[in-house]
Amino acid sequence: MNDIIIKTLQAQDAAPLLQFELENRAWFEQHIAPRDEAFYTPQGVQRHIDQYLDGYAKGTWHPCLLLDASGRIVGRANLKDIDSTTASAEAGYRIARDAAGQGLATRALLHLVALAQQQWRLQHLLAYVTDNNPASARVLNKCAFVQGAYQDGMECIDGRLYGGHQFIRTLR
């Protein structure tokens, strides 16, 4: 997967994004809390994109897509809760099941780090990982994030409450 393009989400990405989310729904829901059922419709995904692009225009979000050589979405990466006062944001990513284990999460996270530094001039990035997702914690460690405080009851996944850790990377 060397021919990966990472681009900012656009309004016209709704149909392929819905396909990506539907194809990977069960996979994602093993690791993170499920989205509301209304999300998984053309209108729901368009509302989602509109909210993200509104946040991008306001400087509080930077939503990205990872595309393979054929233009198929194979992942997502976001800076969210961008705060110019604290010069911080939260980084998040999700990779398609059939693309997992190929270094895409690392590439996505390094892309977010570069955006945070160069475009948004941030000083800190945060990320949160539940105990049931050690692969994501390894990616964060590989990208120079440091594990921080443990938090009980971070997320409910498949009816089970998981704790996890905050991770932080200082950028400047």
pLDDT of 33 higher than 90: no
Helices (H), 11-151: 14-29, 42-58, 104-118, 134-142
- The enclosing H or E element of 151 equals strand 146-157
3-class DSSP assignment, residue 126: strand
Interval 107-166: pLDDT, tens: 999 999 999 999 999 999 999 998 888 999 999 999 999 999 999 988 888 788 889 999
| Mean pLDDT confidence for 77-105 | 96
Strands 88-95 and 124-130: parallel
CATH architecture of the domain 5-170 equals 3-Layer(aba) Sandwich (3.40)
- Residue 2, pLDDT > 70, answer no
Secondary structure class of 132 (helix, strand, coil): coil
Mean predicted confidence (pLDDT) in 21-26: 95
Residue 58: enclosing H or E segment and its boundaries?
helix 42-58
Q: Count CB atoms within 10 A of the CB of residue 125.
A: 26
Do the Cβ atoms of 14 and 49 come closer than 8 Å? Answer: yes
Domain extents for the chain? 5-170
- Closest of 115, 113, 140, 114 to residue 125, by C-alpha: 113
Q: How confident is the model at residue 29 (pLDDT cuts 50, 70, 90)?
A: confident
Query: Would the pLDDT of 1 be above 60?
Result: no
Please state the pTM of the whole predicted model. Answer: 0.93
